[in-house]
Amino acid sequence: MAYAITRTCCNDASCVSVCPVNCIHPTPDEPEFGTTDLLYIDPAACIDCGACADACPVDAVFPVDRLAGPDIQYAELNRRWYEENPTDHAWGAPEFPRSLPNGFGELSVAVVGTGPSAGYTAQLLLRTTGARVTMIDRLPVAGGLLRHGVAPDHQSTKRIGESFADTFHHPALRMHLGVTIGEDLSHEDLTAYHHAVVYAVGAAGDRRLGLPGEDLPGSLPATTLVGWYNAHPTVPADAVDLAAERAVVVGNGNVAVDIARILLTDPDELARTDIADHALAALRDSRVREVVLLARRGPEHAAWTRPEFLALTHLAGVDLVVADEPGVREAIAAASADPKAADSKAALLAGLPVETVDWAAAPPAGRRRIVLRFGATPQQLLGRDRVEGLRVSGPDATESTIAAGLVVRSIGYRGVPVPGLPFDEASGTIPHDGARVVDPATGRPLPATYVVGWAKRGPSGGIGANRDCAQETVDALLDDAAAGLLSAPAHRIQGFAGLVRRRRPDALGLRQWRAVDRAERARGEASGRPRVKLATVPELVASARRFRP
């Protein structure tokens, strides 16, 4: 019986490298890699060895005959992908581990960030070069997007962090937490003690709508709401007010879907996750009964991935409906009638109820629901002391007002500048050429300075996409080492910890982070949860200081 890949796929291609018959596609060297919703196993070629299931870091691979519930449909999705994308499973050219040139000596690399892209980068450097790696993060806790971005009900996705466990215990790794580049240390400080610096700083900012009323209380960026339910230490426990019956999420990407799902999921279900305690308490008292996912364009242009959308259709106690707006029925019908559009976003809506919604009234009594509204462009947030509604215009230029007490803009994350480095305001990224940070004025690479992850390519791609991205960055770094472009640092790496202590005496290290990790897991074990997060900087620091060597 063949295996199938299901919705929790992280696209990091761990399964691809272990498949003895090369029947998992797209592979990292194929054009579709990074653009498909997940990877796929060819049931006609699979030999049922199970190597892919053992290698998968997020438990997304199962024998077809063991699929149950919502995952049953993935057997057909895997099969159909190969029907539409035939391949002979030919092997590509072999790739061999990179290494440093003879006589180079010990390489020292600073990695700014501790999220997935930073983790993959450190992992590659430690495994292939024997480098000494220093990881630095502005927060007093490691994990980045994996800790503060992945929705709490996606615990299987969080398991990818276990693949970094060996990395974070490697004797050649040092970590400094609660240290900000541009305040406590400069880029020049890093280059003075390391051969190279890799920036894995992600995209911590958000995009604004640029509308009147956007700064009213009750108007939030997705970064705040996601940080709130994930116990981000910079987001206060009272940052989100759930007193309104209707919430509007502007956007319909995966983050918007996450927000809608978390706002309406039964709190008893969330109580088995690592959701922030303050968020769980607020959700138990929440009055939100309806979440509107608002999209400017039609259903055929929806930005969510198929696995995330399909999960919405199985959300217990929550109805999923489509608002009956101009052109919506026609778009769904056209996609459903076209065999070539069977997998389009619009075709996935076939079978859902299409209903007329009274936007000025309160949501209907009874069950909770998610409403998909397409073809609506936000014009203004309304209210005197806080948000009371959102005025939108339709494709026919008619305007309407959606009564709502909470409006969340989820129109994309955005990178923020790093002091001392160039920044592209248009894309919100660090300008680079093949991962090498460049001076925009001259186009020349900055010496020994590299970028990886969302700071490099923009906020696109899931967690696993950072693995291939990190490989490109590390390859560029090693190419430069081989070409003699990495100068010896002015100071020995052994002195860097002393510099950090002088500049930021309260910085935490790896042992302290392990103490926090143990404390959170112990708190979780006591309550039947994977962990109970410490949600404030003082709590994290106090727990870290109690570590036992």
Among 84, 118, 133, the domain-final residue is 84
Instruction: Supply φ then ψ for residue 403, to 5 degrees.
Output: -70, 125
DSSP string, 398-435: -EEEEE-SEEEE-S-EE----TTS--BTTTTB--EETT
Looking at the fold, whether 241 and 335 belong to one and the same domain comes out as yes
Is 34 flagged in the annotation as binding? no
Among 395, 410, 425, the domain-final residue is 410
CB 125 within 8 A of CB 133: yes
471-493 tens-digit pLDDT: 999 999 999 999 999 999 999 99
Q: In the predicted model, what is the mean pLDDT of residues 342-358?
A: 88
Residue 547 has pLDDT above 70, yes or no: no
Query: What is residue 451's three-state secondary structure?
Result: strand
Is 254 flagged in the annotation as binding? yes
Whether residue 23 is contained in a domain is answered as: yes
404-438 tens-digit pLDDT: 999 999 999 999 999 999 999 999 999 999 999 99
Is 117 flagged in the annotation as binding? yes
Is 297 flagged in the annotation as binding? yes
Looking at the fold, whether 269 and 360 belong to one and the same domain comes out as yes
Q: How many CA atoms lie within 13 A of 507 on its CB side?
A: 26
Whether residue 264 is contained in a domain is answered as: yes
Looking at the fold, whether 240 and 377 belong to one and the same domain comes out as yes
Is 463 flagged in the annotation as binding? yes
Whether residue 517 is contained in a domain is answered as: no
Whether residue 548 is contained in a domain is answered as: no
Would you give the end-to-end CA distance of the chain in angstroms?
49
Q: How many CA atoms lie within 13 A of 503 on its CB side?
A: 19
Residue 541 has pLDDT above 70, yes or no: yes
Whether residue 192 is contained in a domain is answered as: yes
Looking at the fold, whether 293 and 403 belong to one and the same domain comes out as yes
- Asked which of 184-193, 339-348, 392-401, 491-500 is least confident by mean pLDDT, the reply is 339-348
- Give the residue numbers spanning the domain of 121: 108-204+415-507
Whether residue 11 is contained in a domain is answered as: yes
Is 145 flagged in the annotation as binding? yes
149-162 tens-digit pLDDT: 999 999 988 888 88
Q: How confident is the model at residue 442 (pLDDT cuts 50, 70, 90)?
A: very high
pTM: 0.93
Is 252 flagged in the annotation as binding? yes
Looking at the fold, whether 195 and 266 belong to one and the same domain comes out as no
The amino acid that residue 419 corresponds to is: P
pLDDT at 94: 78
Mean pLDDT of the chain: 93
Whether residue 190 is contained in a domain is answered as: yes
Q: In the predicted model, what is the mean pLDDT of residues 33-57?
A: 92
Burial of 320-358, coded b for 16+ CB within 10 Å and e otherwise, reads bbbbebeebeebbeebbeeeeeeebbbbbbeeeeeeebe
Is 308 flagged in the annotation as binding? yes
Is 119 flagged in the annotation as binding? no
Looking at the fold, whether 373 and 265 belong to one and the same domain comes out as yes
pLDDT at 340: 66
374-410 tens-digit pLDDT: 999 999 999 999 999 999 999 888 999 999 999 999 9
Token pair belonging to 138 = 């502005």
Q: How far apart are CA 36 and CA 50, in angstroms?
A: 23
Looking at the fold, whether 228 and 342 belong to one and the same domain comes out as yes
Total domains present in the chain: 3
The Cα-based distances of 404 to 76, 216, 383 in angstroms read 40, 13, 10
Residue 341 has pLDDT above 70, yes or no: no
CB 115 within 8 A of CB 145: yes
pLDDT at 34: 77
Q: What is the CATH number of the domain that holds 54?
A: 3.30.70.20
Whether residue 90 is contained in a domain is answered as: no
